[in-house]
Amino acid sequence: MVRFVYPAKLYQHAEDEIVVSFRDVPHCHTSGEDVAEALVEAADALEEAIAGCIVDGDEIPTPSPPLPGERLIAVHADTAAKAALAVAFRASGLTQADLARRLGVDDKVVRGMLDPRHGTPVSRVNDALQVLGQELVLEVREVSVPAKLAASVPGS
């Protein structure tokens, strides 16, 4: 099971800048003027990094457990679904044409499913995952309200 939720370290860089880095995604860094803004920017930067891995055919980093003081940042649901499909597809050894035949769709449909910027319905991504022996599971968890987060920065 893969969850596309990555630990992030926040630290005070300047009086008005909170920097965010991901140890599992070393090329992904961002910042904000306060913790709330930094967390929003972190989610966007993480999504772009994972989408870039999908597009470039790079390995999608596996999230590690958080260390004390780290915050968990989730990849947006649509991108996480596409990342899960990309991982399963690469592991399958199938071609896009093979997957298209198994799904009973045109090759263009599969190309869209593997494109993180293409608006593919999540149900269709799940259908492809099931053909590859996987299943998409949605998890909802409670998060803190950003205003409450701005009170302190761990590790600063």
The overall pTM is greater than 0.85: no
Residue 111 has pLDDT above 90, yes or no: yes
For 24-80, write each residue's pLDDT tens digit: 998 999 999 999 899 999 999 999 999 999 999 999 999 999 999 899 999 999 999
Report the range of poorest mean pLDDT among 7-11, 60-64, 127-131, 147-151.
147-151
Q: Coil, helix or strand for 61?
A: coil
Question: Cβ distance 78 to 70 under 8 Å?
Answer: no
List strands edge to edge, sheet with 29-32: 29-32, 17-21, 5-14, 71-74
* Stronger pLDDT, 12 or 142, i.e. the higher one: 12
Residue 154 has pLDDT above 60, yes or no: no
pLDDT at site 153: 52
pLDDT mean over 130-150: 73
Residue 152 has pLDDT above 60, yes or no: no
Which residues contact residue 121 at a Cβ distance below 8 angstroms, ignoring those fewer than 6 apart?
none
Which residues are bridge partners to 72 per DSSP? 7
Which residues contact residue 42 at a Cβ distance below 8 angstroms, ignoring those fewer than 6 apart?
8, 20, 22, 30, 71, 73
